[in-house]
């Protein structure tokens, strides 16, 4: 079966995106409580992309991409607003409101796209009892792709629990503002203590960047390691 050029481009972009995401989690990103699960998700997605393209299941693959990547737009938007909220010694509340609005849309889209439409439109149609109505012969890697798509659903439920916990903490006022609850509680408390201590000492930047005579004295920035993990993986 010949694959249309726009489908090829979609698969190429998706494959490169998740490959980049896997490298980022392993090397550049902050190590969080779900980072190992995120690595497994990226590997699983790359295998699914490869198999679905090789076996020409690309129409089904495009549906999986649509239902999973649409809500990520609003998540990344909310993250950007959080990073823009505190600049210098001033807090811009407009970014706080935009982050909350983005997360609200993200939550609704997650429930609709991943928790409802994905099982209804994709998983139901790849069930053996349903698929045999349309296909009489054995599908290459059909069982493997089926199992991996169900595993993808399990990962969706895993992260949905984080969303529910976050909303619970917001409604019970355990959290006063948008923050990443995937980091360990001890690390969050440590970050807060460091920030409070630096504010008491009159530090210019709560993140630890020092400025002397207009020159940044932060070691990580000088060495170009500003993207490395703030919390290294604990050694066994």
Residue-wise pLDDT for 149-205, tens only, equals 999 999 999 999 989 988 888 888 777 666 655 554 444 455 555 556 666 666 544
Cα–Cα distance, 101 to 210 (Å, whole number): 33
Cα–Cα distance, 158 to 162 (Å, whole number): 7
8 Å CB contact between 145 and 57: yes
Q: Which two tokens stand for residue 137?
A: 């012969």
Cα–Cα distance, 185 to 153 (Å, whole number): 27
Cα–Cα distance, 114 to 157 (Å, whole number): 9
pLDDT of residue 134 exceeding 80: no
Q: What is the DSSP letter of 233?
A: P
**pTM of the entire structure?**
0.69
The residue ranges of DSSP E strands in the chain, in sequence order, are 86-87, 90-91, 211-212, 215-216
Mean pLDDT for 13-36 is: 90
pLDDT of residue 115 exceeding 90: yes
pLDDT of residue 47 exceeding 80: yes
8 Å CB contact between 198 and 86: no
Cα–Cα distance, 25 to 34 (Å, whole number): 10
Which residue's entry shows tokens 């490169």?
Answer: 16
Which long-range contacts (C-beta less than 8 Å, at least 24 apart) are formed by 144-148? 144/51, 145/48, 145/51, 145/52, 145/55, 145/57, 148/44, 148/47, 148/48
Cα–Cα distance, 43 to 15 (Å, whole number): 10
Higher-scoring residue by pLDDT: 41, 142: 41
Contacts of 53 (CB under 8 A, 6+ apart): 3, 11, 61
8 Å CB contact between 176 and 157: no
| % of the chain beyond a pLDDT of 70 | 70
Per-residue model confidence (pLDDT) at position 114? 95
When pLDDT is cut at 50, 70 and 90, the band that residue 107 belongs to is: very high
Higher-scoring residue by pLDDT: 61, 230: 61
Which residue's entry shows tokens 């296909």?
Answer: 135
In sequence order, what are the beta bridge partners of 91?
86
**For 203-219, what is each residue's pLDDT tens digit?**
544 444 444 444 444 44
8 Å CB contact between 78 and 106: yes
Higher-scoring residue by pLDDT: 227, 190: 190
pLDDT of residue 93 exceeding 60: yes
Higher-scoring residue by pLDDT: 166, 129: 166
Closest CA to 181 of 164, 156, 198: 164
pLDDT of residue 220 exceeding 50: no
8 Å CB contact between 120 and 128: no
Higher-scoring residue by pLDDT: 204, 132: 132
């Amino acid at each position: 079966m010949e694959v249309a050029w726009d489908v090829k481009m979609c698969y190429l972009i998706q494959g490169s995106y998740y490959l980049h995401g896997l490298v980022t989690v392993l090397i550049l990103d902050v190590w969080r409580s779900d980072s190992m699960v995120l690595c497994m998700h990226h590997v699983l997605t790359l295998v699914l992309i490869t198999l679905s393209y090789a076996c020409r299941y690309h129409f089904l693959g495009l549906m999986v991409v649509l239902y999973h990547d649409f809500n990520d737009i609003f998540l990344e938007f909310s993250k950007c607003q959080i990073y823009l909220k505190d600049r210098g010694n001033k807090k811009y509340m407009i970014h706080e409101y935009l982050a909350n609005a983005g997360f609200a849309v993200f939550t609704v889209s997650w429930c609709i796209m991943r928790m409802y439409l994905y099982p209804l439109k994709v998983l139901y149609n790849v069930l053996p009892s349903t698929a045999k109505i349309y296909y009489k012969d054995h599908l290459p890697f059909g069982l493997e792709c089926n199992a991996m798509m169900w595993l993808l659903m399990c990962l969706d439920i895993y992260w949905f629990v984080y969303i529910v916990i976050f909303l619970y903490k917001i409604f019970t006022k355990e959290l006063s503002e948008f923050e990443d609850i995937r980091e360990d509680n001890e690390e969050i408390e440590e970050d807060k203590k460091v920030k409070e201590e630096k504010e008491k000492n009159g530090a210019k930047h709560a993140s630890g960047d020092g400025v002397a005579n207009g020159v940044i004295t932060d070691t990580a920035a000088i060495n170009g390691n500003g993207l490395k993990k703030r919390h290294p993986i604990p050694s066994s």
